[in-house]
Chain A
Amino acid sequence: MAILEADGLTKTYGSLCALDQVSLSLESGRIVGLLGPNGSGKTTFIKICNGLLVPAAGELRIDGSPVGTATKALSAYLPDRDFLPDWMKASDVIDYYSDFFSDFDAQKAGDMLEDLGIKADQKLGKMSKGTREKLRLIVTMARRAKIYFLDEPIAGVDPAARDYILRTIIANYNTDALVVISTHLIADVESVLDEAVLLRNGKVVLHAPVDEVRERTGKSLDEYFREVFAC
């Protein structure tokens, strides 16, 4: 059974249609790339999946339930912005996640902090931007979630950091889970993807296994994307 099912999902902002009748079915145990240029609806879709937006029309079910407290308990979300409170210390953030998420592995998070040389008693407000990004990634991937939503996890970081982030994701996610990675940097993530969903102007233009796209088109996913979205 699909763990994420969207049926006719539509979201408008005034006259702008951010998502237009999006229907998707995604299975567990897959790493899915949610790909598209800026403004194609990727973040809007992920926000709806995490209860941050209410769709204008359509239905979304996660693990058979509509979006609510039950689905939030089994979804891990890494937004594309700095969301952790800067008045907390790293250890406070781990305690916070432990308090609210029963699937959070505090030991694993602590080990990852140590591996990266992040001091548990350091305040987030005093950390560098890169360290804060790593902490956000750690607390997200330390969850044994059923779905991981990673919104632009490698945007705005250098190539070495991108490799590190992708390695951390692959090494730490729950392999029975669905991982949805939203990005426009396809060349960097292509090697880890099982499936690709291409969005353009709020519509799904492609949903297929990555291998199938390569076989059918004779191109890499990145080359195919550039062809589809050529300006």
Chain B
Amino acid sequence: MLIKLMKYDLKYMLRSLLPLYLVMIVLGVLAGAFFPGEGAIEERIYGSGNVSVTAGSGFAVIATAAIIAVTVIAIAVAIVTAMSVIHRFNRNLLGNEGYLSFTLPVTVSEHFFSKAFSSMIVVILGYAAGAVTFLLMGAIYTVRVGDAASVHEFWRLGRDIFSDVFYYDGPAGNIVLMILAAVVSIYQLIAQVFCASAIGSQARERKGFMGVLAFIGLAIAEAVVTSLTGLSASGIGMLIYFQPDGTTMLAGSLALNCAFAAAYSAGTIWLLKNRLNLQ
């Protein structure tokens, strides 16, 4: 039943996200196709020695517009992903649709994990769409320009963004830990949002506002517990700012993230089982 639930959760969330992914990728292709650069194709179009014309031509305008549009769409993807995740949970379980959802022959846990896993998938898909956009942009630019210096500059930009991954030279097992920490962080944040929504739904009025307050309260509680342990609970932070000699720190942070994730999950499931408050 979990897979069936996930099918409908993903269908709901992806119906607005898939078009955005597609637009972002197409704009990335445009940017790569029109980004100015000296190279063989421009020389054929404008004649040898005149390729610098492309920098001020309509090509550059299109490329600039495409890059700006990609950035805007990427931000839109992030916002729509967050809204879809929250909206799906609230509407399908805590709103009128809950009268259908909770009368299906599935357990409350299956409902929770379906929403959580589906949300993780769309978050990861968002990142993947961004990566594909950048890679396509770079690949098209590389093929089109064919100039070693321009290509080197383009890919150097990409490496700088993910510098700690590309330049990391510590134990290979830590890469696995970093990826695991990132995945757990995503799950933990989603579970925290769901837990806050479930807490907020207990209020008689202004459930959404109470949910926001609950999220802030949980974040504060998390920060207090984290500071008492001396560990950093940010798996993604560890990924970006990982220190090669911090394996123990990363493992400890991962364990802490898992504990928080488990607590949020258990709390949400308990509230949905015992304190469901459909109007």
| Residues of A that sit less than 8 Å from B by CB | 47, 50-54, 69-70, 72-73, 75, 77, 79, 81-85, 87, 96, 99-101
Residues of chain B contacted by A101 (CB below 8 angstroms):
104-105
Residues of chain A contacted by B278 (CB below 8 angstroms):
47, 52
Known: A52-B276, A52-B278, A99-B4. A82 touches B105 (CB 8 A): no
Tell whether, in the assembled complex, residue A77 and residue B103 are in contact, meaning their CB atoms are under 8 Å apart.
yes
Tell whether, in the assembled complex, residue B4 and residue A100 are in contact, meaning their CB atoms are under 8 Å apart.
yes
Which B residue's beta carbon lies closest to that of A151?
B99
Residues of chain A contacted by B91 (CB below 8 angstroms):
85
Q: Does B50 contact A (CB under 8 A)?
A: no
Residues of chain A contacted by B102 (CB below 8 angstroms):
50-52
Which A residue's beta carbon lies closest to that of B91?
A85
Tell whether, in the assembled complex, residue B15 and residue A87 are in contact, meaning their CB atoms are under 8 Å apart.
yes
Residues of chain A contacted by B97 (CB below 8 angstroms):
83-85
Q: Does B106 contact A (CB under 8 A)?
A: yes
Q: Does B52 contact A (CB under 8 A)?
A: no
Residues of chain A contacted by B104 (CB below 8 angstroms):
72, 100-101
Tell whether, in the assembled complex, residue B12 and residue A52 are in contact, meaning their CB atoms are under 8 Å apart.
no
Tell whether, in the assembled complex, residue B99 and residue A69 are in contact, meaning their CB atoms are under 8 Å apart.
no
**Shortest 6 CB-CB distances between A and B: which pairs?**
A73-B105, A83-B99, A79-B99, A72-B105, A69-B105, A83-B100
The residues in B between 257 and 279 inclusive whose CB is less than 8 angstroms from any CB of A are: 273-274, 276, 278
Tell whether, in the assembled complex, residue B103 and residue A81 are in contact, meaning their CB atoms are under 8 Å apart.
no
Q: Does B8 contact A (CB under 8 A)?
A: yes
Residues of chain A contacted by B12 (CB below 8 angstroms):
85, 87
Report which of B15, B92, B99, B103 forms a contact with A72, defined as CB distance below 8 A: B103
Tell whether, in the assembled complex, residue B103 and residue A50 are in contact, meaning their CB atoms are under 8 Å apart.
yes
> For the complex, what is the distance from the CA of A69 to the CA of B15, rounded to whole Å?
30
> For the complex, what is the distance from the CA of A47 to the CA of B4, rounded to whole Å?
24
> For the complex, what is the distance from the CA of A103 to the CA of B20, rounded to whole Å?
39
Residues of chain B contacted by A54 (CB below 8 angstroms):
273-274, 276
A–B complex contacts, Cβ < 8 Å, 22 sampled: A47-B278, A50-B102, A50-B103, A51-B103, A53-B276, A54-B274, A69-B106, A69-B107, A70-B105, A72-B103, A72-B104, A72-B105, A75-B103, A77-B103, A81-B96, A83-B97, A83-B100, A85-B91, A85-B92, A100-B1, A100-B4, A101-B104
> For the complex, what is the distance from the CA of A82 to the CA of B170, rounded to whole Å?
57
Residues of chain A contacted by B7 (CB below 8 angstroms):
99
> For the complex, what is the distance from the CA of A83 to the CA of B93, rounded to whole Å?
11
Residues of chain B contacted by A82 (CB below 8 angstroms):
96
> For the complex, what is the distance from the CA of A40 to the CA of B96, rounded to whole Å?
22
Min distance, Cβ B208 to any Cβ of chain A, angstroms: 19
> For the complex, what is the distance from the CA of A77 to the CA of B104, rounded to whole Å?
10
> For the complex, what is the distance from the CA of A53 to the CA of B98, rounded to whole Å?
12
Residues of chain B contacted by A52 (CB below 8 angstroms):
98-99, 102-103, 276, 278
Residues of chain B contacted by A100 (CB below 8 angstroms):
1, 4, 104-106
